[in-house]
Amino acid sequence: MIELDNLAYSYGGGELLSEVSLKLAPGSFHFLTGPSGAGKTTFLKLCYGALVPTAGHARIFGQDVREMTRDDIAMVRRRIGVVHQDCQFLDHLPISENVALPLTVAGRDVQAEAANLDELLAWCGLTPRASALPPQLSGGERQRAALARAVILSPDVILADEPTGNVDWEMSQRLLQLLVELNRMGKTVLIASHDLGLIRAAKQHVQARVLRISNRRLQLAGADL
């Protein structure tokens, strides 16, 4: 699915990530942890082609990011659902349209998928807020909407950057359950989070591996966390 080969990245100063190698196998479930500023968001961006590695290779669905055109990247993003740390909505459109946006830009018939959309909104507890504008939502509601948008196209891979940062424990369990459910359907999941409780909870439901960024390197954390 996603393959990083001896990759390094720097924003211009010193290297933020070095010698990173990783294969995300289909159907796998990973957590990514590390202190704030370690480069978790940067790592995810490398995984969905928003950043090009400064050294080494990143291959997405077998294609080297460096050789991909802008449209190739657009197509890849329809197969990778991303929950961004800062959500990123179109503030002039209601939540329901924002969640359906991947369908819209992919030229799919949004009307035909209306039932799916309603179900998804209900699952994320957003039905009462469906016609609100993004700036009118709470932080947690925005994160739920971002997750809903990430999975609406039923992507092969789901990358989530702190998807539970602003929600209470119960809601975070629900969102986790959704991700676990999707993983059981064969989707590859990678969640960046420093919520160790969430990670422990997940491990009861799913075979999850924990990656940790420390000292610019990516390490596989022990079973004990």
Partner 1 sequence: MRGPRVIGDLVSGDGSADRVVPPSGQTAHLTLFAAAVMAFLAVFALALSLSTGRLADRWGEDLARASTVRISAPGEQMQAQTAAALRVLETTEGVASARALDATEQRALLAPWFGPEVPVEDLPVPQLIEVIETDAGFDAAGLRLRLSAEAPGAVLDDHTRWRRPLVRAAERLRALGYLSILLIGGAMAAIITLAASAALSANAQVIGVLRLVGAEDRYVARAFVRRFTLRTLAGAAAGTLAGCLALLLLPSSGEGLDMLTGLGFRGAEWLLPLLLPPVAGLVAYAATRRAALRVLGELT
Ligand X SMILES: Nc1ncnc2c1ncn2[C@@H]1O[C@H](COP(=O)(O)OP(=O)(O)OP(=O)(O)O)[C@@H](O)[C@H]1O
- Report in angstroms how near the CB of residue 127 gets to partner 1 at its nearest: 21
Q: Which is nearer to partner 1, 51 or 206 (CB)?
A: 51
- Report in angstroms how near the CB of residue 161 gets to partner 1 at its nearest: 12
Q: Which is nearer to partner 1, 25 or 114 (CB)?
A: 114
Q: Is 85 in the site for Mg ion (CB under 5 A)?
A: yes
Cα dihedral value 137, 45, 180, 77, nearest 10:
90
- The mark string for 7-26 relative to ligand X (x by CB under 6 A, - otherwise) is ----x----x----------
Q: Phi-psi category of 224—alpha, beta or left, where left has phi over 0 and alpha has psi -120 to 50?
A: alpha
Helix, coil or strand: residue 107: coil
Q: Which is nearer to ligand X, 26 or 37 (CB)?
A: 37
* Alpha carbons 186 and 134: distance in angstroms, whole number: 31
Which among 136, 191, 120 is positioned nearest to 162, based on CA atoms? Answer: 191
Q: Is 142 in the site for ligand X (CB under 6 A)?
A: no
Q: How far apart, in Å, are the Cα atoms of 191 and each of 32, 46, 49, 157, 201?
A: 6, 14, 17, 11, 13
CB contact at 8 A, 47 and 38: no
Q: Is 42 in the site for ligand X (CB under 6 A)?
A: yes
- The mark string for 121-160 relative to Mg ion (x by CB under 5 A, - otherwise) is ----------------------------------------
Q: Is 37 in the site for ligand X (CB under 6 A)?
A: yes
Q: Is 40 in the site for ligand X (CB under 6 A)?
A: yes
CB contact at 8 A, 32 and 40: yes
Scanning residues 21 to 60, which ones bind Mg ion (CB under 5 A)? 40-41
Bridge pairing between strands 188-192 and 2-9: unpaired
Q: Which residues bind partner 1 (CB under 8 A)?
A: 50-51, 70-71, 74-78, 82, 84, 88-93, 97, 101-102, 104-107, 110, 149, 153
